[in-house]
């Protein structure tokens, strides 16, 4: 092994983590939950938190990236991005995040950069790829309330909430060694209404809500999940498998970029 290949195989892949935008006291700030950054490290990658960016900066940022992790957030994707007006004005939005992640997602997929998206990340990916969202799943007949018990302690909010059926033959089933059902947490009010064209359902909740999907047309690893695998990921065998698979895809992307002939 040459010195060059040995150093490239040792250097960790860089994973972009887009920040949310919120006020911290009187100060407009960029914020990312620590559990997401920790999970990127657990995947064997180096997290790089990106503050809000310009849609024009997406290509430049992707040249730095060996992977992208889209986090959850209390904020909703603005329904105007899928042709609806906001039904509940009291819920938070994050127009600065929408402004560039909706451009980042198709660009990352086109470039073959591995992409893993969680909760709001799944929702914004569906919208970025031509789908739409329910604004309040809990107000639909025959759907369960997928929101967390807000007054409960965090362990309960992020505790197991319902099972999901893993669709046979898909990426998720393969990552989970053929598992057909898993237990997940649930902390969201929005949810997939119309899945974007060409996207593949990977998991369903008992009420039929899409809980995971992938884009089989993209050349690299991509997985979008509605639950929160980053919560105490090191203690959850399902989460470990997902983050390890994402990390391995990011490492392979980095190694190919560094040494295209290997």
Ligand X SMILES: N[C@@H](CCC(=O)NCCCC(=O)O)C(=O)O
Q: Show which residues are catalytic.
A: 119, 228, 230
Segment interacting with ligand X (CB under 6 A) among 42-50, 168-176, 186-194, 205-213:
186-194
Say if residues 170 and 119 touch (Cβ distance below 8 Å).
no
Segment interacting with ligand X (CB under 6 A) among 8-16, 39-47, 72-80, 241-249:
72-80
Verify binding: residue 126, ligand X, rule CB under 6 A.
no
Q: Which of 67, 166, 192, 228 binds ligand X (CB under 6 A)?
A: 228
Closest approach, Cβ 119 to ligand X, in A, equals 3
Q: Which of 66, 128, 129, 188 binds ligand X (CB under 6 A)?
A: 188
Number of chain residues interacting with ligand X (CB under 6 A): 14
Between residues 108 and 192, which has the closer beta carbon with respect to ligand X? 192
Number of Cβ within a 10 Å radius of residue 54: 11
Verify binding: residue 69, ligand X, rule CB under 6 A.
no
Closest approach, Cβ 177 to ligand X, in A, equals 27
Name the residues that contact ligand X, by CB under 6 A: 33, 71-76, 119-120, 187-190, 228
């Amino acid at each position: 092994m040459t010195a060059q290949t040995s150093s490239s195989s040792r250097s960790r892949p860089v994973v972009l983590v887009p920040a949310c935008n919120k006020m911290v006291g009187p100060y407009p700030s960029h914020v990312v939950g620590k559990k997401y950054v920790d999970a990127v490290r657990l995947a064997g990658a180096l997290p790089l938190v990106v503050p809000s960016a310009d849609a024009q900066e997406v290509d430049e940022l992707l040249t730095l990236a060996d992977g992208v992790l889209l986090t959850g957030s209390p904020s909703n994707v603005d329904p105007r991005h899928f042709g609806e007006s906001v039904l509940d004005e009291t819920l938070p939005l994050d127009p600065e995040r929408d402004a560039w992640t909706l451009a980042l997602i198709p660009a990352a997929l086109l470039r073959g950069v591995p992409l893993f998206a969680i909760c709001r990340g799944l929702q914004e990916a569906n919208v970025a790829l031509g789908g739409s969202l329910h604004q309040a799943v809990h107000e639909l007949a025959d759907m369960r309330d997928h929101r967390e018990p807000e007054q409960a302690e965090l362990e309960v909010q992020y505790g197991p909430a319902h099972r999901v059926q893993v669709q046979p033959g898909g990426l998720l089933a393969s990552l989970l060694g053929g598992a057909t059902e898993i237990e997940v947490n649930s902390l969201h009010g929005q949810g997939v209404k119309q899945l974007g064209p060409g996207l593949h359902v990977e998991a369903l909740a008992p009420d039929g809500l899409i809980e995971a999907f992938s884009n089989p047309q993209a050349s690299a690893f991509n997985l979008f999940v509605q639950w929160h695998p980053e919560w105490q990921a090191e203690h959850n065998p399902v989460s470990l498998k997902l983050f390890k698979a994402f990390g391995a895809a990011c490492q392979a992307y980095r190694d190919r970029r560094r040494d295209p002939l290997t």
